[in-house]
């Protein structure tokens, strides 16, 4: 089904029958993607004495508890409450759910012992006013990202200048296929987070960061409609399901 969409005074056409899901699936398996030194998620039936809430064990329903960490166990969207002294919830900060978006693919540069993404790299592929959201696919981009264990790997990250540039471009929503836009171990500085949200000087409360996505190889760089879906959690972050629709010529 083709639909005409108007966002930010611009009208374009998308095919709603061709969604592109760029989220990772959360499961109770040991190969569930993971970061930040936590154990795998748990999905377990409720137990009450000898009763297990599992149909295969004789119960009338399957009734599971789920234990996971939004930041560590898969695709998640976070608000400035992730780094602020004050409490802010993603459920309050994200009030619109459809945005213009652009996918770009970047190869990290070497900086000392780190791999980084610089302002110059992003400038070559993204300019002010191009889209409300930017989706960064990093290379290499194998399907191993769907199960990667990131703890103690010193993954590539955005330099502060790159996040500052995206803020200056007016990008409201930053999506990336890594556990964080920042360096894994940076003594708690989180420079890219602070720069993108402009915290605490003039905080951009409606801006979000989505991490641990996966953009398949067969999805081309370019312009899309983004539907950014979250669960209604009163928390700084929520598991999320970003879905793309190709903008038709």
Q: In this structure, is the dihedral angle defined by the CA atoms of residues 82, 95, 97 and 101, taken in order, positive or negative? A: negative
Please tell me the predicted confidence (pLDDT) of residue 61: 97
Sort residue 152 into left (φ over 0), alpha (ψ -120 to 50) or beta. Answer: left
- Check pLDDT > 90 for residue 18: yes
Domain span including residue 200: 2-25+71-248
Residue 58 lies in a domain: no
Assigned domain for 46 exists: no
In a domain, 57, yes or no: no
Does the residue 11 lie in any domain?
A: yes
Which residue is listed with tokens 């061709």? Answer: 18
Q: For position 1, what pLDDT does the model report?
A: 87
Checking if the pLDDT of 10 tops 90, the result is no
Residue 53 has a pLDDT of 97
Provide the pLDDT confidence category of residue 8 given band limits of 50, 70 and 90.
confident
Domain count across the chain: 1
pLDDT score for 181: 98
Which string of DSSP letters, residue by residue, matches 104-124?
EEEPPEEETTEEEE-HHHHHT
Using 50, 70 and 90 to split pLDDT, how confident is the model at 9? confident
Q: In this structure, is residue 55 part of a structural domain?
A: no
- pLDDT digit string (tens) for 155-192? 999 999 999 999 999 999 999 999 999 999 999 999 99
Q: In sequence order, what E strands does the chain have?
A: 2-7, 10-15, 20-21, 42-45, 47-48, 51-52, 64-67, 76-78, 98-106, 109-111, 114-117, 133-138, 157-158, 173-176, 208-211, 222-230, 237-248
Predicted confidence (pLDDT) at residue 26 exceeds the cutoff of 90:
yes
CATH of the domain at 233: 3.50.30.50
pLDDT for res 249: 81
Q: Residue 65 falls within a domain, yes or no?
A: no
Which band of pLDDT confidence, cut at 50, 70 and 90, is reported for residue 193? very high
């Amino acid at each position: 089904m083709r639909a005409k969409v108007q966002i930010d005074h611009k009208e374009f056409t998308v095919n709603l029958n061709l969604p592109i899901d760029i989220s990772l699936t959360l499961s109770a398996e040991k190969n569930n993607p993971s970061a930040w030194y936590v154990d795998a998620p748990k999905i377990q039936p409720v137990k009450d004495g000898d009763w297990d809430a599992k149909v295969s064990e004789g119960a009338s329903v399957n009734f599971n508890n789920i234990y996971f960490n939004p930041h560590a166990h898969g695709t998640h969207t976070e608000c400035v409450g992730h780094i602020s002294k004050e409490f802010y919830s993603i459920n309050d900060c994200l009030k619109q759910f459809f945005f213009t978006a652009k996918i770009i693919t970047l190869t990290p540069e070497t900086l000392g012992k780190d791999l980084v993404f610089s302002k110059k790299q992003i400038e070559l592929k993204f300019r002010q006013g191009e889209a409300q959201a930017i989706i960064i696919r990093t290379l290499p981009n194998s399907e191993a990202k769907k199960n990667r264990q990131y703890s103690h790997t010193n993954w590539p990250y955005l330099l502060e200048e790159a996040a500052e540039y995206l803020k200056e471009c007016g990008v409201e929503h930053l999506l990336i296929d890594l556990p964080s836009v920042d360096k894994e171990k940076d003594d708690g500085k989180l420079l890219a987070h602070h720069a993108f949200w402009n915290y605490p000087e003039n905080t951009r409360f409606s801006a979000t960061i989505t991490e641990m996505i996966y953009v398949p190889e067969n999805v081309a760089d370019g312009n899309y409609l983004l539907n950014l879906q979250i669960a209604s959690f009163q928390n700084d972050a929520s598991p999320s399901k970003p879905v793309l629709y190709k903008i038709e010529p």
